[in-house]
Amino acid sequence: MGSRTHYRADSRTHYDDYDIDAELDVPLEVPKDPAHGDFATNIAMVLASRAKKNPRAVASTIVENIDTKGTYIKRVEVAGPGFINFFLDNKAWLLEALSRALREGEQYGRTSYGRGRRVQVEFISANPTGPMVVVQARAGAVGDTLANLLDACGFSVEREFYINDAGNQVDLLGRSLEARYLQEFGIEAEIPEGGYPGEYLVEMARDLIREKGDALLPGRGGRGGRGDHRGPTVRSGYSGWGDDDSYVPESWRHRFFARYAVEKIVESHKKVLADYGVHFDVWFSEKSLHDAGAVEETIEALRERGYVYENEGALWLRSTAFGDDKDRVLKKQDGEYTYLAPDIAYHRNKFERGFETVIDIWGPDHHGYIARMKAAIQALGYPENALEVLIVQLVRLIRGGEAVRMSKRAGEFVTMSDLLTEVGKDAARFFFLMRAPESHLDFDIDLAKLQTQENPVFYVQYASARIASIFRQAAEEGIPKPSLEGARLDLLGEESELLLMRKIADLPEEILGAALAREPHRMTKYATELASAFHVFYTQCRVLGNDPELTAARLLLVEGAGIALRNTLRLLGVSAPERM
């Protein structure tokens, strides 16, 4: 809530005393406290300051002149320092909202706000040099749910994962794997400086030996070397390299190790993400940009628009033209591109694919790139706000009340896969979405594992289980599934029933608000509030009772709550269990 709508008031009433315009904006808001009405306005206080009069007196004058005949307004009051609170005849529109939820079912909560406009959400984009870590799990939850929310608001959304499969680090990865491979044969070899010492490459080297034996030792595996003139090949869904490495002459050995490692790691990323409930529409290879000449093309495009110049043997982007602190190097003195160059080409490619809005979710170490990336897309002629960057802050793992020490250099870290194995998808996603993306997050592993009331995800899921349980019980007692037609929903009037209906009614606005503010974490809060409203209702109102009409009406309310809850959990990527 906190949503604020401005209504145009035309003042047929007696505002002349206050010397104000005939038309003014009247801000209406939904008060946090229901005792303050269904809507409230602070207009009297705004006017009072202009008219130098007592706000409460102004409010009283206004209220005396409001005509509520023939409206849904039941009561108007002056309260506090000068608020005007409006109380609606709630029941009518709450019942209508419930009916709507029941009619729309899985579609309930969706709106057509986006009218099919195309939005891309790019997230995680972990380097294919090692297992994904915990912060990437957080980015995954945020990105996936944000995409779900935008989809629910009628945008045409694509999820994309960018694979940095070109450049120095891939070469280092290949040489690291090669070292592990050689070590398995007892050959002395060292992980290169800046390489990847993690245990996962030892395992990968063993897999490789199981597949290819010693064919990759120096001097082996060439054409005709061992009767198998095709030599090793790689099969996977990922094909950034094309399919041209049909044999492995000496000069290609390094490329093979790099390619093998990247493909295996991307495969493992896909598997972990599938377990996490995240599915990407596009896996975009950086290498494919280079192969297509997109980097040169992009630099050419920038040059034509006058934002590229040469200095001290390097090629620079004039990003200061768009507010960046300093200009940035695109091509180094040694002729190599910086990271920025292909990244600009990548973003150009995104816009060429027709996205109206591109949302990137980055880690905190990249916040310094926002200014230059936004400068770059403007230099290419795209509007500054066509690119939005969300920074997801770091995650600190807490175990036994203490921060888990991780050292990437030593290759010791808790991977995303470890975390999922330990706490499960539901707890992980829910926990990551309980915090605003930009706030630092302490992830308490012990708490996430608890199957007790201390764990907030179970509170929400328990509501789902209880709902299912009621319908199981009803079926056992031979109570027919109620239909909306002819149902006496008007029998619902208990306070807890009305509060539950209000929560159900809020869902579409919650989804829209969370999507437009890019704040997916609002939905865990909503889920908790909805579950709470249900638990209170459950405690206070017996559903399966003696009065068939009341029972039917309450079953419909329970079904409506279930619809709202399941739809919310689906957006979060958390399961809605029928039994716990």
393-422: contacts with RNA (CB under 7 A) = 393-394
Give me the least distance between CB of 94 and RNA, in Å please: 19
Q: Are 165 and 174 in contact (CB under 8 A)?
A: no
Residues 328-387 binding RNA (CB under 7 A) are: 328-329, 332-334, 336-339, 364-369
Pair of tokens at residue 245: 């490495």
By residue count, the chain amounts to: 580
Nearer to RNA by Cβ, of 170 and 216: the residue is 170
Pair type for strands 39-41 and 83-88? antiparallel
Task: Report d(CA 128, CA 148) in Å as an integer.
Answer: 25
- Output phi, psi for 153, to 5 deg: -100, 10
Phi-psi region of 108 (alpha: psi -120 to 50; beta: other; left: phi over 0): beta
Q: Which is nearer to RNA, 121 or 397 (CB)?
A: 397
Which structure tokens are listed for 14?
């007696």
Q: CB 460 → RNA: shortest distance, Å?
A: 9
Let me know: does 511 contact 153? Beta carbons within 8 Å. yes
Q: How many residues sit close enough to RNA to count as binding (CB under 7 A)? A: 88
Query: Which listed range, 7-15, 101-109, 167-175, 419-427, lies at the site for RNA (CB under 7 A)?
Result: 167-175
CB atoms within 10 A of CB 86: 22
Return the number of the residue (353 or 472) whose C-beta is nearest RNA.
Answer: 472
Residue type, 267: E
Binding piece for RNA, criterion CB under 7 A, among 78-86, 349-357, 420-428, 487-495: 78-86
Contact between 168 and RNA (CB under 7 A)? yes
* CA torsion angle 504 508 514 518 (round to 10): 150
Please identify, using beta-carbon distances, which residue of 204 and 514 lies nearer to RNA: 514
DSSP state of 332: -
Identify which of residues 221 and 456 has a Cβ nearer to RNA in the complex: 456
| 542 is a contact residue toward RNA (CB under 7 A) | yes
User: For residue 205, what are its two tokens?
Assistant: 């080297």
Shortest Å distance, C-beta 504 to RNA: 17
Looking at the Cβ atoms of 250 and 438, the one nearer to RNA is 438
Tell me the closest approach of the beta carbon of residue 212 to RNA, in angstroms.
27
CB of 16 to RNA, least distance (A): 22
Name residues contacting RNA, limited to 250-279 (CB under 7 A).
none
Does residue 28 interact with RNA by CB under 7 A?
A: no
Instruction: Tell me if 576 sits within 8 A of 464, measured CB to CB.
Output: yes
The residues in 116-155 that bind RNA, with binding defined as CB under 7 A, are 127
Rounded-to-integer distance, Cα 174 and Cα 279, Å: 27
Smallest distance, RNA to C-beta of residue 236, A:
21
Nearer to RNA, 157 or 392 (CB): 392
Q: Shortest gap between Cβ of 101 and RNA (angstroms)?
A: 20
Q: How far is the CB of 168 from RNA (least distance, A)?
A: 4
Give the shortest CB-435-to-RNA separation in angstroms: 4
Nearer of residues 127 and 298 to RNA, judged by Cβ: 127
42 is a site residue for RNA (CB under 7 A): yes
**Secondary structure E strands in 261-356:** 282-285, 308-311, 314-317, 328-331
Half-sphere exposure of 294 toward its Cβ, with a 13 Å CA cutoff?
Answer: 19
Nearer to RNA, 94 or 427 (CB): 427
Strand (E) or helix (H) holding 465 = helix 456-476
Angle at 146 between CA 140 and CA 149, to 5 degrees: 140
Name the residue nearer to RNA (CB basis): 464 or 567: 464
Strand partners, 23: 10
Q: In the bound complex, what is the minimum distance in angstroms from residue 184's beta carbon to RNA?
A: 27
Closest CB 117 distance from RNA, rounded Å: 25
Smallest distance, RNA to C-beta of residue 493, A: 16
The nearer residue to RNA, 279 or 332, going by C-beta atoms, is 332
Question: Nearer to RNA by C-beta: 251 or 539?
Answer: 539
CB of 430 to RNA, least distance (A): 12
CA distances from 425 to 124, 137, 452, 485 (A): 16, 10, 17, 39
5 vs 333 by CB, closer to RNA: 333
Region 43-72 residues binding RNA, contact defined as CB under 7 A: 45-46, 48-49, 55
The CA radius of gyration of the chain, in Å to the nearest whole number, is 30
Smallest separation (angstroms) from RNA to the CB of 249: 26
Using rule CB under 7 A, residue 176 touches RNA: no
Q: What is the CB neighbour count within 10 angstroms for residue 24?
A: 18
Binding flags for RNA, 81-120, as an x/- string (CB under 7 A): x-x-x-----------------------------------
Shorter beta-carbon distance to RNA: residue 276 or 430: 430
**Is the Cβ of residue 251 or residue 546 nearer to RNA in the bound state?**
546
User: What are the tokens at 345?
Assistant: 């080409």
Restricting to residues 416-475, which ones interact with RNA according to CB under 7 A?
434-436, 438-442, 444, 451-454, 456, 458-459, 462, 465-466, 468-470, 472-473
Which residues between 480 and 539 bind RNA (CB under 7 A)? 519, 521-522, 525, 528, 532, 535-536, 538-539
Q: How far apart are CA 93 and CA 147, in angstroms?
A: 30
Of residues 314, 389, 404, 420, which one binds RNA by CB under 7 A?
314
Residue span binding RNA (CB under 7 A) among the ranges 74-82, 183-191, 212-220, 301-309:
74-82
d(C-alpha 84, C-alpha 93), whole Å: 21
Three-state SS for 366-427 is: HCCHHHHHHHHHHHCCCCHHHEEEEECCCEEEEECCEECCCECCCCECCEHHHHHHHHCHHH
Kindly state the smallest distance separating residue 150's Cβ from RNA, in Å.
18
Say if residues 139 and 392 touch (Cβ distance below 8 Å).
yes
Task: Work out the angle between the directed axes of helices 548-572 and 134-152 (0-180°, nearest 10).
Answer: 130
> Measured on CA atoms in the order 295, 301, 305, 309, is the torsion positive or negative?
positive
